[in-house]
Copies of this chain bind each other. A is one copy, B any other.
Amino acid sequence: MPVTMRDVALQAGVSIKTVSRVVNHQPEISDATRQRVLAVIDALGYRPNFLARALVTQRTQIIGLVVVTLDNPYFTDIARGVQAAGREHAYLTFLATSDEDPHEEQHILESLVAYGADGIIVYATSFSDGYLAQFAEHFRPLVVIHGLVEHPNISHVRADFEGGARLAVDYLISRRHRAIGMLANVESPPARRWRERGYAASLRAHGLTVQPDCIERDLAKIDGGYAATRRLLTRHPELTAIFAYNDMMAIGALKACRELGRRVPEDCAIVGFDDTDLATIVIPNLTTVRVDKRELGRQAFLRLLEKLHHPDVTYPPLVLPPELVIRESA
């Protein structure tokens, strides 16, 4: 059914190779035959078969992007950054989500290599660290966003979460808050608790003591933020401010405060993280730490491209600086 080069070649009275040359814009061909072949291609509706091409060239011009979930606009923004950058360099981005299922994540990675993706960008989840190390062993260019695994095949890109957290907490302290709680992600293993380290560092830097039970953990979603805030505020009613793991949790906190009759920011200031689009649709608008998500995605792609062209060169991790965005919630 599908039209192949052979069909075109037969019809145009040239060799398959000549058709190939036309399709690939190779110069060593006369204008006359080029036109003739082009005409036949058009008439027959020929489309090159990338699979076959990829099989021989060993390059697919496809890169894979694996993220945990698309629920959080944070990830869709990153995806957009990657896709846009990829597009500019004639790469097609294959976006796949594991839906928080580590098993599925593995499956996706395997499929990606089986289909010959030229490179892969992974947003690291707590689950994948161990697996990634071993995966990098048998796979080519890999860029990990917010990853921890050191490996020559892996390039790293991240935002300075710790610095961002300091920004947030410093600000709260500058606004005379002394009892500041934190909403953390239960799923973060110790090594990934950058925000918590920033939170603690800021408190200490201002002579405040860090109380571990002022950090409440839950899923990094709206519901998790809601539940965590209720628990935190019942245990520590004296808190006047909360620093949240991300905007999702901050929004949950907002909801909890409303239910508990605490005005935001008067009775309880709230600072989020990521500066997703959600930050400006809730009331009060979220004061939050902005991460340039598109840039993160873009840089991830560029790093990948770099690795694609120069497989042996190793770059230091790229770290993007976050920025505090002051709005209404704190």
Contacts and interface: CB of A to CB of B under 8 A. Distances in A.
Given A96-B93, A281-B278, A281-B281, A70 B80 contact: yes
A187 to B, nearest CB: 19
A71 B62 contact: no
Interface in A107-129: 108, 110-111, 113-116
B111 A87 contact: no
Contacts of A92: 96, 108, 111
Contacts of A50: 111, 114-116
Q: How large is the interface on A (under 10, 10 to 19, 20 to 34, 35 or more residues)?
A: 35 or more
Interface in A91-115: 92-97, 99, 104, 108, 110-111, 113-115
A51 B71 CA distance: 31
A73 B283 CA distance: 19
A70 B62 contact: no
A67 to B, nearest CB: 11
A76 B96 CA distance: 12
Interface stretch (A9-17, A41-49, A156-164, A168-176): A41-49
A251 B279 CA distance: 13
Contact of A54 (B51, B96, B255): B51
Interface in A54-97: 54-55, 60, 62, 70-71, 73, 76, 79-80, 83-84, 87, 92-97
Nearest to A54: B51
A191 interface: no
Contacts of A25: none
Contacts of A71: 73, 76, 277
Contacts of A83: 96-97, 99
A55 B45 CA distance: 20
A95 B80 CA distance: 12
Contact of A138 (B45, B96, B138, B251): B45
A255 B50 CA distance: 48
A115 B222 contact: no
A23 to B, nearest CB: 11
B281 A62 contact: no
Contact of A114 (B47, B95, B278): B47
A282 interface: yes
Contacts of A80: 70, 97, 99
A55 B47 contact: no
Contacts of A62: 115
Contacts of A281: 222, 251, 255, 278, 281-282
A52 interface: yes
Interface of A: 45, 47-52, 54-55, 60, 62, 70-71, 73, 76, 79-80, 83-84, 87, 92-97, 99, 104, 108, 110-111, 113-116, 138, 222, 251, 255, 258, 277-278, 281-283
Q: Which 10 A-B pairs have the closest CB atoms?
A: A70-B76, A50-B114, A95-B95, A50-B115, A51-B116, A51-B55, A283-B283, A92-B111, A94-B94, A251-B281
